[in-house]
């Protein structure tokens, strides 16, 4: 067992009624970037993703597809596994809620809630949205064209059936106290305020079982009921680490989770219901729920009916995987809504990846290749300018770490790019191509400083654009063993005399194909 500090990060588990789209790719990408960063920073990371396969919505989709739900979920769940591979995600596990280990976990948490006296049998009469898999109070709904519509825009149906209820109303004060004691449980802070006002407004008991369909986990001891899909789905986070065996090595190590990453639409389930279920079951609550914003496409809401769903595979093919990863993490302050546009995508990849970073590396490595025998040159004494550049890059680890710990991915990239720009101005100021004739020894020092600055910049950018940066580090002959943050800064400085392979650009420019007029 490793002595490294554990770090447990989860994505929502995705409904399998849909093919994967940009929203799914986005949530998991954010987790992947953080998981990679933490691993490089010496943490023992568990990164979990998976699929949410029960409930009425999935049952209906299977029915429409004309196959039984199990065969349907087997098929569609695979699309999400494939997406993870295509996006170069480094998840350590992929959970499916139809797995036996998960059913056992759900039934156990149910029994704990019953034993605690927090579940009772009654009758539900109210509104339900199959699309959101959520119950809505009359007051939350709007009338539109004679139909009742949920705040999310989804249609609702009137449901009347026997149901078990969770005594959520009894948890209001304890939840508010919990938020008070854990000011960073919900991030960003604006979202935290929304949740606390919602809870302050009073909580109703929550229906946690259904009887009108069968596709779900059986309620222990009552064959007529299946568990509400959200109670089932949320439990995945502990199933994957061995629950109900709370002595399980992984449960002991990884629970409570460090970050549940979710979209803003599913914050209430994670920040209100989940901690209440856990507290009632006598289990620890997660340390943080971070709610990110939603993407629109060229200014429009993304929806199947508008036909403007963004296919991550298509983006990858058109612009490149690392380019897409970079864009999604850089374009929008993480937590805010954002707009995807092709022109913004091209601007970022050409301006920031190809020009700022790619050209810097290519220029420096080519000069070393031509003028230093293709070997890391021996530096002389460092000038103030040299020391300042290296100090700026060396200082990145601390600032980027702080940004990553706040899930402020765009800030991390901003800080890195400000040092990339500093390195570019240093090149212009030092003009190594002039030094080549006038002072070749000084040229070597300048190229050494630049090569090591690029090494630092590359190391810290790895989580965002892993493939391209892997190539950049190959070109600097930085071995696999010297790519984690132990080697960051002084500890891993390049050794003069190290042979370098022939340099090649790692960030291609995107040139728009001419469109016929
Ligand atoms: N199955 C539930 C989650 C259960 S977790 C215990 C679910 N699944 S989902 O497939 O509908 O959505 C998964 C994620 O995709 C959510 O975090 C949601 O915010 C995100 N997105 C869906 N569309 C999106 C955008 N247009 N933009 C950004 N993210 C969006 O909810």
Class of domain 6-293: alpha beta
Q: Which of 80, 86, 93, 92 is nearest to 39 (CA)?
A: 92
What stretch(es) of the chain map to CATH 3.40.50.620? 6-293
Helices 440-461 and 409-430, axial angle in degrees (round to 10): 170
Q: Whose CA is nearest to atom 25 of ligand 1?
A: 23
CA distance 321 to 314: 10
In this structure, the residues whose C-beta lies within 6 A of any atom of ligand 1 are: 12-15, 23-24, 26-27, 52, 233-234, 236, 262-263, 265-266, 294-295, 302
Q: pTM, whole model, 2 decimals?
A: 0.96
User: What is the predicted pLDDT for the residue at 512?
Assistant: 79
Atom of ligand 1 nearest to the CA of 302: 26
Alpha helices of 11-168 — where are they, by DSSP H? Answer: 22-40, 56-65, 69-86, 100-115
Atom of ligand 1 nearest to the CA of 262: 17
DSSP 3-state assignment of 225? strand
SS3 labels along 154-190: CECEEEEEEEEEECHHHHHHHHHHHHHHCCCCEECHH
Contacts with 249 (C-beta within 8 Å, 6 or more apart), sequence order: 1, 242
Contacts with 19 (C-beta within 8 Å, 6 or more apart), sequence order: 76, 79, 311
Torsion of CA 429, 430, 434, 438, to 10 degrees: 130
Atom of ligand 1 nearest to the CA of 24: 15
Tell how far the Cα of 440 is from the centroid of ligand 1, in angstroms: 57
What stretch(es) of the chain map to CATH 1.10.730.10? 342-492
CA distance 55 to 230: 9
User: What is the predicted pLDDT for the residue at 517?
Assistant: 43
Low-confidence ranges of the chain (pLDDT < 70): 1-2, 514-517
Pick the CATH number of 342-492 from 2.60.40.10, 3.40.1190.20, 3.40.50.2020, 1.10.730.10: 1.10.730.10
CA distance 252 to 183: 24
HSE on the CB side for 480, CA within 13 Å? 0
Atom of ligand 1 nearest to the CA of 237: 6
Specify the residue for token string 């300048």: 446
The tokens for 115 are 């034993």
User: What is the predicted pLDDT for the residue at 161?
Assistant: 95
User: What is the predicted pLDDT for the residue at 516?
Assistant: 46
Tell how far the Cα of 263 is from the centroid of ligand 1, in angstroms: 6
User: What is the predicted pLDDT for the residue at 306?
Assistant: 83
The DSSP bridge pattern shows strands 300-301 and 157-166 to be unpaired
Tell how far the Cα of 264 is from the centroid of ligand 1, in angstroms: 9
CA distance 394 to 423: 13
Q: Whose CA is nearest to atom 12 of ligand 1?
A: 14
Specify the residue for token string 């029915």: 63
């Amino acid at each position: 067992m490793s002595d490294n500090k554990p770090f447990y990060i989860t994505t929502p588990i995705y409904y399998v009624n849909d093919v994967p789209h940009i929203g799914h790719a986005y949530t998991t990408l954010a987790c992947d970037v953080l998981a990679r960063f933490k691993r490089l920073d010496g943490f023992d990371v568990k990164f979990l993703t998976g699929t949410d396969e029960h409930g009425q919505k999935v049952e209906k989709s299977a029915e429409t597809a004309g196959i039984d739900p199990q065969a349907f979920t087997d098929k569609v769940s695979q699309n999400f596994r494939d997406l993870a591979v295509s996006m170069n995600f480094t998840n350590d596990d992929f959970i499916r809620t139809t797995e036996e280990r998960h059913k056992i976990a759900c039934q156990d948490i149910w029994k704990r809630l019953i034993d605690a006296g927090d579940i009772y049998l009654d009758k539900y009469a109210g509104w339900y949205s199959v699309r959101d898999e959520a119950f809505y109070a009359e007051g939350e709904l709007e009338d539109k064209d004679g139909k009742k519509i949920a705040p999310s825009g989804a249609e609702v149906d009137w449901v009347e059936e026997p149901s078990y209820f969770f005594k959520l109303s009894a948890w209001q004060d304890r939840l508010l106290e919990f938020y008070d004691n854990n000011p960073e449980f919900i991030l960003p802070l604006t979202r935290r305020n929304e949740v606390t006002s919602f809870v302050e407004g009073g909580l109703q008991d929550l229906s946690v079982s259904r009887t009108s369909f069968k596709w779900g986990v059986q309620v222990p001891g009552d064959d007529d009921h299946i568990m509400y899909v959200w109670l089932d789905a949320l439990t995945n986070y502990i199933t994957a680490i061995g629950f109900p065996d709370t002595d399980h090595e992984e449960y002991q190590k990884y629970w409570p989770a460090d970050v549940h990453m979710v979209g803003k639409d599913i914050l209430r389930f994670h920040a209100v219901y989940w901690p209440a279920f856990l507290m009632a079951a006598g289990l620890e609550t997660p340390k943080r729920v971070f709610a990110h914003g939603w993407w629109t496409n060229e200014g429009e809401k993304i929806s199947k009916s508008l036909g403007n769903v963004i296919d991550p595979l298509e983006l990858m093919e058109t612009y490149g995987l690392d380019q897409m990863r970079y864009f999604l993490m850089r374009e929008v302050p993480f937590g805010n809504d954002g707009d995807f546009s092709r022109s913004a995508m091209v601007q970022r990849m050409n301006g920031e990846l190809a020009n700022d970073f790619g050209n810097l590396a290519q220029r420096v490595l080519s000069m070393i290749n031509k003028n230093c025998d293709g070997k890391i040159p021996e530096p002389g004494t460092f000038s103030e300018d040299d020391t300042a550049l290296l100090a700026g890059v060396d200082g990145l680890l601390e600032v980027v770490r702080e940004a990553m710990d706040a899930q402020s991915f765009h800030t991390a990239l901003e800080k890195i790019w400000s040092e990339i720009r500093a390195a570019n101005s240093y090149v212009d100021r030092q003009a190594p191509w002039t030094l080549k004739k006038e002072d070749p020894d000084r040229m070597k020092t300048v190229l050494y400083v630049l090569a090591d600055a690029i090494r630092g910049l590359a190391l810290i950018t790895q989580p965002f654009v892993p493939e391209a940066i892997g190539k950049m580090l190959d070109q600097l002959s930085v071995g696999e063993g010297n790519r984690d943050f132990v080697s960051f800064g002084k500890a891993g400085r390049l050794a003069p005399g190290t042979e370098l392979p022939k340099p090649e650009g790692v960030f291609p420019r995107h040139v728009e194909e001419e469109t016929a007029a």
